[in-house]
């Protein structure tokens, strides 16, 4: 009986704080263990970006000029965003449909514990992914980077967390994994089109330029391209801050749409 | 000691545009209380309301002296959803360790509950590669991790063999004897006999409430199954 009262008291004490490090880390650790089990997904997460960036390099190998130096950084910014968006939206949806989310929400788990736990886990995967992709681009494929290479990786991680946050958010609006995947053309492809890869952002029609200015991927791509051109990092940090701000906003939206009580 | 673990007052729940629970008034005290009723009558919905994950359309639910779903309650309730809610790609032990960390209970609890559901020899097996009954036992084990004052178990013994069912019901009674309230839903009529108190539910209302003996006596039946049928046809009439 005594331990019961203690548990009750500690639960009440922790109820005031929206986030508990213990639970958040438990979620992150569990997600990483699940990924470790799923060899195929892990291989896709780590190897696929390297293969794609190599493919891109190969495509432009015979062309004149340094197209790869322009397009490569954009791809480095896009890949973690797209991949983490997909992985997260499908994983959280699986968590909803399997009943584990309902069970967790009936436990002393804050919404932020859940969301930040996922963001931490996929942020860590993104860091590994980016170190590999950036390493191959710079080391093997001779991508010219004027700024610090580690900052390139940081941009990629911020970008991945952004993808995770958006993925968490849209999973609230999808009933099935099939629907969740459909959000990609809606939320991701317009960002790819308008991020400055196809048409430099300043040459876009005014309206589209305005839209491009409020899309987070534009800032991630800007940051990557700046890093390859100059060694000045001031503006890069501004871009990183914008991407991080969007990621935080996405997590907040995710928390707002994650309902403990459902119909 | 608390008078009632659960007090449901005038509870209304609407799901999919239909009134699934209709002005329900229930109290649940100590011991093992069984919830029986035909498929779709609202058993799972009522359980979801008790653990605070069901949207309510009216009325209120108080659990262990607090509003159902309040933050302070969440560590004091053990809940098993009807579908086994464990991670398929983790082992039994990894699942339990994760939930133990969420609940903030010592990892020694993992060994205790693995024994309790008779999964010690499978503790390092991945849940997705276990049989249905083994999975639902893994799911049940999660609810036993803490020292909950209320256990809400939604059909925890579906698909299990008679020996294991008997052992689990003995476990439920031991938990109840230690002071917790146990609320179990079931489809299996012989399990009804094992409850201290039975609630029979039909179309979102309670149509009978009492000990198995009382319910049999009231209908003059020899077994719960015919008592149940008698009560349902009387109610439908
Ligand atoms: N997610 C949902 N959305 C809309 N309606 C639902 C949902 N889940 C259940 N219902 C409806 O609510 C009613 C009660 O469902 P509930 O799951 O509580 O039944 P139950 O008594 O647990 O049945 P069973 O014994 O088959 O598990 C059913 O008529 C069902 O159609
Ligand atoms: Mg049910």
Mean pLDDT of chain A: 86
Could B101 and A23 be called an inter-chain contact, meaning their C-beta atoms sit closer than 8 Å?
A: yes
pLDDT reading at A16 higher than 60? no
Residue listed under structure tokens 């949207």: B55
* Backbone angles phi and psi of B189, in degrees to 5: -70, -30
pLDDT in tens, A108-144: 898 889 999 998 998 899 889 888 998 999 889 888 8
Asked whether the CA dihedral B186, B188, B189, B191 is positive or negative, the reply is: negative
Q: What's the complex ipTM?
A: 0.87
Q: What is the pLDDT of residue B163?
A: 87
Half-sphere exposure of B185 (CA within 13 A, CB side): 23
B79 to chain A: which residues are within 8 Å by CB?
A: 103, 106
pLDDT reading at A226 higher than 50? yes
Cα distance between residue B210 and residue A34, in whole Å:
46
Q: What is the pLDDT of residue A17?
A: 63
B222 CA to middle of ligand 1, Å? 30
* For range A148-170, the mean pLDDT: 88
Q: What is the pLDDT of residue A238?
A: 93
Q: What is the pLDDT of residue B79?
A: 93
Instruction: Say if CB B170 and CB B185 are below 8 A apart.
Output: no
* Backbone angles phi and psi of B195, in degrees to 5: -90, 150
pLDDT in tens, A32-43: 999 998 888 888
Q: Is the CB of B52 under 6 A from ligand 1?
A: no
pLDDT in tens, B113-155: 999 888 999 999 999 999 988 898 999 999 999 888 999 999 9
pTM of the model: 0.88
Ligand 1, atom 17, residue with closest C-alpha: B44
Measure Cα distances from B60 to A222, B73, B233 in Å: 53, 15, 30
Closest residue of B to A12, CA-based?
B72
pLDDT reading at B230 higher than 70? yes
Query: ∠ at Cα B182 (B178, B183), nearest 5°?
Result: 175
pLDDT reading at A12 higher than 80? no
pLDDT bin (cut points 50, 70, 90) of residue B18 is very high
Instruction: Say if CB A156 and CB A72 are below 8 A apart.
Output: no
Strand segments, DSSP code E, in A129-237 are: none
C-beta pairs of B129-137 under 8 Å, 24+ apart in sequence: B130/B92, B132/B84, B132/B159, B133/B159, B133/B160, B133/B161, B133/B164, B135/B84, B135/B86, B136/B84, B136/B160, B137/B164
Mean pLDDT of chain B: 91
Closest residue of B to A28, CA-based?
B98
Region of poorest pLDDT, from A167-181, A226-240, A243-257: A167-181
DSSP state of B38: -
**3 state DSSP class of B196:** coil
pLDDT reading at A11 higher than 50? no
Query: ∠ at Cα B43 (B175, B190), nearest 5°?
Result: 60
Closest residue of A to B82, CA-based?
A99
pLDDT reading at A62 higher than 60? yes
Judged by phi (left if over 0) then psi (alpha if -120 to 50, else beta), residue B52 lies in: left
pLDDT in tens, B74-105: 889 999 998 889 999 999 999 999 999 999 99
A260 to chain B: which residues are within 8 Å by CB?
A: 52-53, 69
Least distant ligand from the CA of B17: 1
Residue among A7, A98, A105 minimizing CB distance to B147:
A7
Cα distance between residue A108 and residue A14, in whole Å:
9
Q: What is the pLDDT of residue A96?
A: 86
Q: Is the CB of B45 under 6 A from ligand 1?
A: yes
* For range B62-70, the mean pLDDT: 90
Interface probe for A, chosen from B57, B72, B126 (most Cβ of A below 10 Å), is B72
Cα distance between residue B73 and residue B64, in whole Å:
8
pLDDT bin (cut points 50, 70, 90) of residue B195 is very high
Instruction: Say if CB A258 and CB A115 are below 8 A apart.
Output: yes
* For range B162-172, the mean pLDDT: 88
């Amino acid at each position: 009986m005594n331990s019961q009262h203690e548990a009750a008291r500690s639960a009440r004490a922790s109820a005031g704080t929206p986030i508990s490090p213990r639970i958040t880390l438990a979620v992150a650790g569990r997600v990483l263990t699940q990924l470790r089990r799923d060899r195929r997904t892990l291989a896709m997460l780590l190897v696929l970006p390297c293969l794609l960036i190599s493919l891109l390099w190969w495509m432009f190998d015979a062309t004149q000029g340094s197209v790869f130096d322009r397009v490569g950084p954009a791809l480095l910014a896009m890949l973690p965003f797209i991949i983490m968006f997909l992985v997260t939206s499908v994983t959280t949806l699986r968590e909803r449909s399997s009943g584990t989310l309902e069970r967790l929400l009936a436990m002393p788990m804050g919404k932020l514990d859940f969301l930040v736990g996922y963001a931490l886990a996929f942020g860590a995967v993104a860091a590994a992914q980016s170190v590999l992709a950036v390493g191959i681009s710079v080391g093997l494929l001779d991508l010219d980077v004027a700024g610090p290479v580690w900052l390139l990786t940081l941009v990629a991680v911020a970008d991945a967390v952004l993808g995770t946050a958006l993925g968490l958010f849209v999973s609230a609006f999808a009933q099935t994994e099939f629907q969740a995947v459909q959000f990609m053309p809606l939320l991701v492809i317009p960002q790819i089109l308008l991020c400055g890869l196809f048409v430099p952002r300043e040459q876009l029609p005014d309206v589209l330029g305005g839209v491009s200015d409020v899309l987070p991927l534009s800032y991630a791509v800007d940051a990557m391209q700046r890093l390859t051109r100059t060694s000045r990092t001031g503006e890069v940090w501004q871009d990183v801050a914008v991407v991080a701000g969007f990621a935080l906003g996405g997590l907040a939206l995710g928390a707002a749409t994650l309902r403990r009580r459902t119909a | 000691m608390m008078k009632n673990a659960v007090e449901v007052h005038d509870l209304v729940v609407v799901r999919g545009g239909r009134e699934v629970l209709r002005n329900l008034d229930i109290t649940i005290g100590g011991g093992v209380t069984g919830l029986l009723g035909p498929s779709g009558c609202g058993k799972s919905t009522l359980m979801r309301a008790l653990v605070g994950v069901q949207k309510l359309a009216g009325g209120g639910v108080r659990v262990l002296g607090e509003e159902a779903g309040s933050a302070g309650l969440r560590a004091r309730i053990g809940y098993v959803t009807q579908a086994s809610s464990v991670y398929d790609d983790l082992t039994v032990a990894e699942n339990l360790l994760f939930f133990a960390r969420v609940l903030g209970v010592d990892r020694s609890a993992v060994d205790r509950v693995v024994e309790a559901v008779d999964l010690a020899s499978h503790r390092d097996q991945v849940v997705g590669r276990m049989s249905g009954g083994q999975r639902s036992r893994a799911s049940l084990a999660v609810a036993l991790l803490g020292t909950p004052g209320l256990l809400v178990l939604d059909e925890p013994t579906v698909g299990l063999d008679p020996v294991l069912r008997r052992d689990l019901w003995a476990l439920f009674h031991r938990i109840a004897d230690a002071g917790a309230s146990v609320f179990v839903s079931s489809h299996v009529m012989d399990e009804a006999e094992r409850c201290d108190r039975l609630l029979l539910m039909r179309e979102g209302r309670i149509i009978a409430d009492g000990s198995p003996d009382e319910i049999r006596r009231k209908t003059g039946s020899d077994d719960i199954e015919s008592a149940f049928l008698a009560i349902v046809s009387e109610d439908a009439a």
